[in-house]
Structure 1
Amino acid sequence: MCAVTGEAERQSTDLAETRSEQKAGKSMNLMGILGGLGLFMIGGFHLMIAKQGALGLIGRNGAIGIRTRKTQASDAAWDAAHRAAAPLMRTVGIASLIFGAALVLSGFVWQQENPPAVTMIVFALGYGAVLVGSVPITIKANAAASRAHANQEQSIFSGRR
């Protein structure tokens, strides 16, 4: 009776180990996949805002676009800011899409529960590029908005004289 019980326990343990190995083999690198999809969304938004902002299709609002005090000072400032920042926004958008593709690829190539170093590095570089890229975009937009707002005010005052 003891030999039968011991054999059943051994088979049960072997079955549990086999199931956990199968489960581990099927796990996915969620950091790579979800992080990559997030970068795709961010890149798409940058490209959309760059294109529509450069064409003047995005009116001054509180939801999308480059929303700073200077860019929202007037419609002229808003349009000038988006036209000036469009090339930089396109660059950040394309970089975001490239890093996003690399992250998704790493998510499918390295299917393991804990993300490998490559995935973590690409994740940091991708999101870092978006954050660091936002600084010159904002600086360029604010400078263009200030010039446009000043020109608009100057033309208003010179028209009154």
Structure 2
Amino acid sequence: MTGVIVFPALLLVSAVLTQLAASGVLGKNSLAGIRTRSTLRSPAAWTAAHRAAAQWAWAGFAASAAAGAGALLLSGVAAVVLAVIVVVVFIATIVVSLAAAIRAARASAILEG
């Protein structure tokens, strides 16, 4: 049941870092952020990518935190189902956020010319 705490916590950290990058506080660096070829292409691509990913990161955190809280409060099959939902939401959030970021970064590159 540790996962019902760890996965939402990881998504919270991810959402905060994504928001910081989207707002321009966290620029391109070697440790944090969505680091793909398209997002690292320019500062505009970096910001656009993180703006697109931030909404998904926050939504994923909210959903996983709600499911995690339910898993901790309930017992039996309901708790197990909610724990599985936490993991699925975690994976889906990473995939969808990354896809949105890459799409936004590529669109930014097209606009830059």
Determine if the TM-score, normalized by the shorter chain, exceeds 0.5: yes
Alignment of 1:38 with 2:3, yes or no, is no
In the TM superposition, what whole-angstrom CA distance separates every residue of 1:22-52 from its partner, at most 9, and x where no partner exists?
xxxxxxxxx2xx1222133123213312431
Whichever residue aligns with residue 100 of structure 1, its letter is: G
- Asked whether the equivalents of residues 49 and 100 of structure 2 are also in contact (C-alpha less than 8 Å), the reply is yes
In angstroms, what is the RMSD of aligned CA positions? 1.8
Counterpart among 97, 101, 111 of residue 65 in structure 2: 97
- Asked whether the equivalents of residues 52 and 104 of structure 2 are also in contact (C-alpha less than 8 Å), the reply is yes
Task: State the 1:97 CA deviation.
Answer: 1.5
Alignment of 1:98-117 (within 5 A): 98-106=66-74, 110=75, 116-117=76-77
In the aligned structure 2, how far is the partner of 1:42 from the partner of 1:71? 21
In the aligned structure 2, how far is the partner of 1:46 from the partner of 1:101? 19
Change (3 A) 1:144 1:35: same
Aligned residues: 113
Aligned partner of 1:56 in structure 2 is: 24
Aligned partner of 1:5 in structure 2 is: none
Aligned partner of 1:128 in structure 2 is: 88
Q: Which 5+ residue runs of structure 2 have no aligned equivalent? A: none
In the aligned structure 2, how far is the partner of 1:76 from the partner of 1:65? 14
Aligned partner of 1:80 in structure 2 is: 48
Task: State the 1:119 CA deviation.
Answer: 2.4
Which structure has the bigger radius of gyration? 1
Task: State the 1:125 CA deviation.
Answer: 0.7
Counterpart among 15, 20, 35 of residue 47 in structure 1: 15
Task: State the 1:72 CA deviation.
Answer: 1.6
Identity of aligned residues (%): 28
Runs of at least 4 residues off by over 4 Å: none
Secondary structure at 1:85's aligned position in 2? helix
In the TM superposition, what whole-angstrom CA distance separates every residue of 1:117-137 from its partner, at most 9, and x where no partner exists?
222211111110111122221
In the aligned structure 2, how far is the partner of 1:136 from the partner of 1:47? 13
Q: Which 5+ residue runs of structure 1 have no aligned equivalent? A: 1-30, 111-115, 155-161
